[in-house]
Amino acid sequence: MRLIKCNRGVAPIVSTLLLIVITIFAFTLVYGAYNSWISFQRDNSLLQMQERVIIEAFRFNSDDSASVFVFNVGESQVTINQITVNGSSTVITPPSLSIMPGSVSWINMSYYSFPLGNVYALKVITERGTVVETFEKR
């Protein structure tokens, strides 16, 4: 008796298995990237919720500059990136200041001028987007 070799059914089975393996691999990559992104967003949101900054004092200097006394009462380190006065950005010294939990720091800033009798809206903005606002009259 002679054995008959039939290869017609092998190609569709191999291609189907290959497509299933490729689909599972692609889904695994997409799921891993999505899970990593969600984890980063959650961790960043938690750190932002732990940020608590208080503007303790706002001092006008004689040379058209001002100083802000910032107190970190939160549970995470805070990095001050920007200070605005009446909606305009100011130059702060140092340019990026990190404040540990429970610590305080003076931030010097230069602005075009601080005329007497005006009210100034001061916003301190952190690296994670937390905004603290106060109003001061000179």
Q: Which residue bears the tokens 């990136």?
A: 81
Mean pLDDT estimate for the chain: 83
Which residues form the domain of 87? 52-137
Task: Give the tens place of pLDDT for each residue, 51-71.
Answer: 888 888 888 887 777 888 899
Task: Give the tens place of pLDDT for each residue, 4-53.
Answer: 666 666 678 888 899 999 999 999 999 999 988 888 777 777 776 778 88
- Could you tell me if 71 and 87 lie in one domain? yes
Distance, in Å, from the CA atom of 113 to the CA atom of 71, rounded to the nearest integer, reads 25
Distance, in Å, from the CA atom of 81 to the CA atom of 47, rounded to the nearest integer, reads 16
Show the tokens assigned to 7: 């290869």
Asked if residue 72 belongs to a domain, the reply is yes
Asked if residue 4 belongs to a domain, the reply is no
Asked if residue 2 belongs to a domain, the reply is no
Report the sign of the C-alpha dihedral through residues 103, 68, 83, 119, in that order. Answer: positive
Distance, in Å, from the CA atom of 27 to the CA atom of 10, rounded to the nearest integer, reads 26
SS3 for 27?
Answer: helix
Q: Using CB atoms within 10 Å of the CB of residue 95, give its burial: 0 to 12 exposed, 13 to 18 middle, 19+ buried.
A: exposed
- Could you tell me if 57 and 22 lie in one domain? no
pTM across the whole model: 0.62
Contacts of 55 (CB under 8 A, 6+ apart): 68, 69, 70, 71, 122, 124, 132, 134
